[in-house]
Amino acid sequence: MKRLNKTLTIIIPTLNEEKRIPLLLSDLSKQTYKNFHIIIVDASSKNNTLKKVREFKNKLSLSIIKSNQQNVCYQRNLGAKHCSTEWLIFMDADIRIPKNFLKEIMMKTKQINAQIFSTHLSPDKESKYGKIFSTMSNIYFELFKNTKNPAAYESLTGFKTKIFKELKGYNEKTKWSEGRELLKKAAKKNIKLKIYSQPKYVFSLRRLKSQGVINLLTNLSILISSEISQKKLSAKKISSLYPMIGGKNEKSIF
């Protein structure tokens, strides 16, 4: 991929996201900040995902990379290998952002010289649990941001590209909390995660809708407890608690 005269690269892994990727790309096409390029890393989608992406070719600086693995960590790392800009942001295909999102993010990032950053969540208005979930998540981020075990959702995390590559990216064997593992690695090197209370992005709660509140919270409690206690779960067990199989199945936030 040729070097681009841009400051920021947005990397979006996809797998059967024909319904949601157009919404995010539409949001990106309306951004007041324009100095960015988008890399879509697609894991052999079986529907019209790439057709929908190509419809934005004339509206956005955009490229597509095809991944031979259906592995979100692998896809993010693959996208980062093709990144030649100073900054990169990983976004999930099902999030939504307001039109001033990138402008505010980049302004704050440069002002405080952040190296890793994320933001608070806005409620998913399609879910009656959206406000509760986003409030709890934002409190969670704030409680841990200055510790050795910082937290941010993988759905939107930004890095100075040099730092991401020095950290050697996401662990492609990790089945759960891959972002937390990377942030902990950064914290050990005294690289702090910055959490912005504004602007906010909308995190999709489609997993909540499909699995049900009780099932989802129970499963997440088991996973978080195992992480805190450092009790290892089998890959099969993790997959049953936290399936990540793409937009083909509504259980996924991938």
**How would DSSP label each residue in 132-149?**
HHHHHHHHHHHHHTTSSS
What sections of the chain are H helices per DSSP?
Answer: 21-29, 49-54, 72-81, 101-112, 130-144, 161-166, 178-188, 206-211, 213-229, 235-241
Tens of pLDDT, residue by residue over 43-96, are 999 999 999 999 999 999 999 999 999 999 999 999 999 999 999 999 999 999
Given a contact cutoff of 8 angstroms between Cβ atoms, the answer to whether 207 and 130 are in contact is no
Look at residue 26 and tell me if it is in a domain. Answer: yes
Question: 27 lies in which domain range?
Answer: 8-205
At residue 244, the pLDDT reads 46
Whole-number CA gyration radius for the chain: 17
Distance CA 62, CA 36 (A): 9
Look at residue 226 and tell me if it is in a domain. Answer: no
Look at residue 215 and tell me if it is in a domain. Answer: no
Domains in the chain, number: 1
Look at residue 152 and tell me if it is in a domain. Answer: yes
The DSSP symbol for 174 reads -
pTM of the model as a whole:
0.84
Give the pLDDT band (50/70/90) at residue 117.
very high
Look at residue 165 and tell me if it is in a domain. Answer: yes
Look at residue 85 and tell me if it is in a domain. Answer: yes
Look at residue 246 and tell me if it is in a domain. Answer: no
User: Which residues touch 45 (CB under 8 Å, ≥6 apart)?
Assistant: 14, 15, 16, 17, 18, 246, 247
Give the pLDDT band (50/70/90) at residue 232.
low
Other beta carbons within 10 angstroms of residue 215's beta carbon come to 13
At residue 236, the pLDDT reads 60
CATH number at 100 reads 3.90.550.10
For the chain, what is the largest distance between any 2 Cα atoms, rounded to a whole number of angstroms? 50
Q: Which residue has the tokens 């399609």?
A: 126
At residue 250, the pLDDT reads 35
Look at residue 232 and tell me if it is in a domain. Answer: no
SS3 96: strand
At residue 246, the pLDDT reads 41
Give the pLDDT band (50/70/90) at residue 215.
low
Start-to-end Cα distance in the chain? 25
Q: How many whole angstroms from its chain centre is CA 35?
A: 20
SS3 32: coil
> CA 200, 215, 233 angle in degrees (round to 5)?
90
pLDDT at 216 over 90: no
